[in-house]
Every structure is written in structure tokens, then in C-alpha cells.
A = this chain, B = another copy of it.
Amino acid sequence: MDNRAFKDQIYEQFGRLGKSLASPKRLEMLDVLCQGPRTVESLAVATSQTLANASQHLKVLRTARLVEAEKQGLHVTYRLAGTEVCDFFLAFRHLAESRLAEIERITRLFLDGKNVLEAVDQATLLKRVRSGEALVLDVRPEQEYRNGHIPGALSVPLAELEQRLAELPRDRQVVAYCRGPYCVMAVEAVEILRRHGHKAARLEIGVPDWRALGLPLESQP
């Protein structure tokens, strides 16, 4: 094997990894999988695509060894192949945010149409929670909450929020969070809360970012 052949083979392997990151839908699926394992169907729904399509994309991710599949009865559960994959995804997202100004533009455009105001950062959140000024609200599906959440957070999935408003205080600020900066559940939660006269704000980051910051998480079996 000569030098060129060696390099070509090596970079072709790197290219395999790169190619698996070259599709918006696959990246979205990785983002969702950072919250924990999911079945094919639930991934397909979460990312608005057909089952067959989701399955094909998962096959690509599996070939690149980014995800692993486990068959449990009728369902196949996919999970990230390791915590490095989630860390890498966050690094990837971070690089994209730092290089592509369009991302900020699109986000701003989207938020401008919402009654959300600016987000709270994790330092402010921690301070307000400690002083009792704020309550943390996890609006993701309950399964994801059980898989790991911000300590002390209350779980009220977005779908149930409107019915369960009575459980939430009106004298304290409610800080909602969800999967991450591009998951819109917290944005919707804040809109609902504000509409009903609650003081509400949004935490921009999600659980994977929280973990990557080295902050502690709570989880329930």
C-alpha cells in the first residue's frame, strides 16, 4: 500500500462519518437521540418524516457507528453509540452556530413572532432557583424527564400544560426548558404561561447542554 492509497483509505473513512452528518434529518435525529433512546416510529414522528425514511437514515447513522439498535419485541430502540457522540453533536452544533450567522437570523426571526422575550441563562436560573424566585419546569415528554432532568425541575409535558396550570405558582417566575435551543417546546410553554397570567421565561439550553457544562442532573428509573 503506497502513501496515497493509505491516505485515500483513511480519509474515505473520515468521509463516512462526514457523510452521515450531511443530512438535516439525520442531524435532527441525533439531536433527539441526545435526549435518550427512542423507537423508529417515535423518531419518525418527532422529525416529521415517514417511517421508511427514518429507518433509512438510521441505517446510515448505524453504519457510521453513531447509533446502536436493539430489538425489543416488536420495537427497535435506537440510542447514541456512546456519550462521546452526544458531546460531539454539541460541538458540531456549537461550531455551526459560531460560523453560520444564518442560524441566529432564523432563530431571531422565529422568536420575533412569539411572545417570549429573551432567554434566561443557566447561571441566572441557578441563582433564582436557590433564592426561591423561580421554579424550573421541564416540558419534555415524561420519558425524557425520567431519563435525566435539571435538579428540582417539575415535569409537566407541554401537551398537559394547559390542564395543569393550577399546579404552577403565580407568585414565582416559571422557567421552562426543553430539549435544547432549537426545540420549540419551551417557547410554546412560555407563550401558554404568559397568556394565563404567569410570569414565565425560557431557558435556552437543554439537558444535553446542561450535562456538557458539567452541571448535575437528576434521573428516575
Q: A123 at interface (Cβ–Cβ under 8 A)? A: no
In the complex formed, the residue of B with least CB distance to A18 is B21
Q: How far is the CA of A100 from the CA of B85 in the complex (A)?
A: 13
Q: Chain A, interface size: which category?
A: 35 or more
Interface pair A25/B11, CB less than 8 Å apart: yes
A96-B14 in contact given A88-B91, A106-B6, A113-B1 (Cβ < 8 Å): yes
A130 surroundings in chain B (CB, below 8 A): none
Q: Let me know if A7 and B184 touch, CB within 8 A.
A: yes
Instruction: Report how far A95 CA is from B85 CA in the complex, Å.
Output: 7
With A64-B99, A100-B65 as given contacts, are A48 and B13 in contact (CB-CB < 8 Å)? no
On whether the beta carbons of A17 and B182 are closer than 8 Å, the reply is: no
Asked if B23 contacts A15 (CB within 8 A), the reply is yes
In the complex, are the beta carbons of B100 and A13 less than 8 A apart?
A: yes
Name which residue of chain B comes closest to A12, CB basis. B24
Complex CA gap A85/B100 in Å reads 13
The smallest C-beta distance from A63 to any residue of chain B, in angstroms, reads 10
Residues in chain B near residue A25, CB distance under 8 A: 11
- A69 at interface by CB-CB < 8 Å: no
Contacting residues, chain B, for A9 (C-beta < 8 A): 106
Instruction: Please encode chain A, from 85 to 104, with 1 for each CB lying within 8 Å of some chain B CB and 0 for all others.
Output: 10010011101101110110
CA–CA, A23 to B4, complex, Å?
Answer: 16
Interface set, chain A 97-151, CB cutoff 8 A to B: 98-100, 102-103, 106-107, 109-110, 113
Binding site for B on A (CB under 8 A): 1, 3-4, 6-19, 21-28, 31, 48, 64-66, 81-82, 84-85, 88, 91-93, 95-96, 98-100, 102-103, 106-107, 109-110, 113, 182, 184, 188
Write 5 A-B pairs (CB below 8 A) sorted by A numbering: A1-B113, A7-B182, A7-B184, A15-B27, A21-B21
Given contacts A6-B106, A13-B96, A18-B21, 13 further A-B contacts (CB under 8 A): A1-B113, A6-B110, A7-B28, A7-B184, A11-B31, A15-B22, A15-B24, A16-B100, A17-B95, A18-B26, A21-B22, A66-B99, A82-B98
